[in-house]
Amino acid sequence: MTLTELTSTEPATGEILWTGEAGDADAAVANARTAWPKWAALPVTQRIEAVRKYANRVRAHSEELAELISRETGKPLWESRTEVDSVINKVDISVTAFAERTPQRKLSSPDNMRAALRHKPHGVLAVLGPYNFPAHLPNGHIVPALIAGNTIVFKPSEKTPAVGQFMFEMFEKAGLPKGVVNILQGGPDAGKKLASSEDINGLLFTGSAQTGVALNRQFASRPDKILALEMGGNNPIIVWDTDDIHSAAVLVVQSAFLTAGQRCSAASRMIVKDGLYDRVVKEVKRIADRLIIDGPFSNPAPFMGPVIDNHTADGLTESFLALMSHGGRPIKHMARPIDDRPFLTPGIIDVTSMAERPDIELFGPILQVMRVNDFEEAIAEANNTRYGLSAALIGGSAAQFDLFWSHSRAGIVNWNKMTVGASSEAPFGGIGLSGNHRPSAYYAADYCAYPVVSMEANQAKATIGIGLKDEENGN
């Protein structure tokens, strides 16, 4: 079914926040195509100046944007403010990354010529954004792509169209030339039409593995188009030898339940040394029981708000029940405090005895727990997934972390830190079903431009010194 009108409701209240009409993918791409030559021809300093004006515009409206994010996603206001800060800071980080990752430089060459490395933009790039960080994550594609000289067609998630519209208006008010950034509102059909357009030069995606795999298949016969996929995770957090059980439990709770578990790097699986199991699980449950779950503007401030909508909440509740019915032992039952609103209490369940554990991304506040006997078993269990985004070891020795790091199949491997909260000044991405080896964040510059190597001389001067017939006798 094609969506022609969109309505966004606030998860915490059910009130209508925004309504609008779906856009025209072909028209948006055509506008971007028309604008691209002039934008790409501008000196990079002018493109950087333009995105700095955008960042200043966001800074001037930072509280308005934070409140909008909280209303549309349900996340606490304090968390939305950190998201807005990331949007603003992304510009300076992207400028540095562009200079470092896609430089112009001379290469060694013979005396009579020059060799140079430069980078060119791809052209028109489509950006498909997610709902969990509806400003920060698409912004992380758009800003480096603009600096590199691309033009953009941005399709926000149909679950967070208001934040997407706000961002587009910030680009407009910052004075970017018409057509450089275009917004395409709509449902999944609009995204499919945009992805299949012959006139885009690539697509930058953040979202589910299911959609990412479909895009990968679609682009398999199009090596001429760049495709960057940042997908989900089934992320492990190992708790090993540690005397500070409380700190270990805090790190687990933060990893599993920040943003109501709606982070691609959230910890889905806690793997615990058998001898620590009782103490660690007891403390994780004790802290989880204390978490304040409430609306985004409540006082005292909540740790987490609702998930994005009732459909998502229903699916997570069913997933928790499915784990129980297949041998999982509930430690903390997941509950719906308000029947018609998507608030969920954290669910914690021991799946050690399950014959087959589902290797899926449970995008919400569900933590599966496994007990193991030795460290090699813990690493094997951590790697027992088709995903490979984030992993963490809490406790253990330096030698054990080195072993964990070298054997982990993940793009982010932490020690005594959360699985979430990666730095924007580092690459962000994973392997397997978590990505296609094109990490975002600091390394986004890599997929926003392609390298061009030139051998150059002021005039053509060449001879063939071997393999020619003698001109006089034809030999």
Catalogue the active-site residues: 230, 264
d(CA 103, CA 99): 5
With a CB cutoff of 8 Å and minimum separation 6, the contacts of 298 are 292
Q: How far is CA 328 from CA 25, 268, 287, 322, in A?
A: 45, 14, 21, 8
Q: Which residues contact 61 (CB under 8 A, 6 or more apart)?
A: 170
Distance CA 65, CA 72 (A): 10
Instruction: Give the angle subtended at the CA of 431 by the CAs of 427 and 436, to the nearest 5°.
Output: 80
| Angle of CA points 10, 14, 19, to nearest 5° | 60
The DSSP 8-state label assigned to residue 309 in this structure reads: -
Contacts of 41 (CB under 8 A, 6+ apart): none
Half-sphere exposure of 341 (CA within 13 A, CB side): 18
Specify which residues 16 forms β-bridges with: 9
CA–CA distance, 413 with 308 (Å, rounded to integer): 28
